[in-house]
Amino acid sequence: MIVVCIIGVIILVAVPNFMNSRERAHLNICRAQQKNIDDMKAMWAIVEVQPRSSLPAWDDLIPDYLKKIPVCPDAGTYTIGDIDTNATCDVVGH
C-alpha cells in the first residue's frame, strides 16, 4: 500500500514536468525552424540579388536552400514573409 502511494506521488510530480518539457521542446524546435527559414531567405536574396522587400515563395527556397518545407511539431504552418520580416507560425505562442 505504501509503495502504491509512493508511485502515485512520483507520477503526480513527473507527468506535469514531462508535459512542460514536451511543450518547451516543441516551442524550441519551431523557433529554430523559423530562424532557419529566415536565414535561407537572406541567402536566397543575396544569391538571387533580390531587394529586401522581396517575398520569396517556397519554390524559391526548395530544394536549393531548404530540403523540404519545415513542419511545425504542433501541426502549425509557417508564413515566410518578405526578407525583412521574420517567418511566423500560426500556432499561438510560437
| pLDDT tens, residue by residue, 35-61 | 999 999 999 999 888 888 888 989 888
List the domain boundaries for the chain. 2-89
- Characterize 58-93 residue by residue with b for buried, 16 or more Cβ atoms within 10 angstroms of its Cβ, and e for exposed: eebbeeebbeeebebbbebebebbebeeebebebee
At 32, is the pLDDT very low, low, confident or very high (cuts 50, 70, 90)? very high
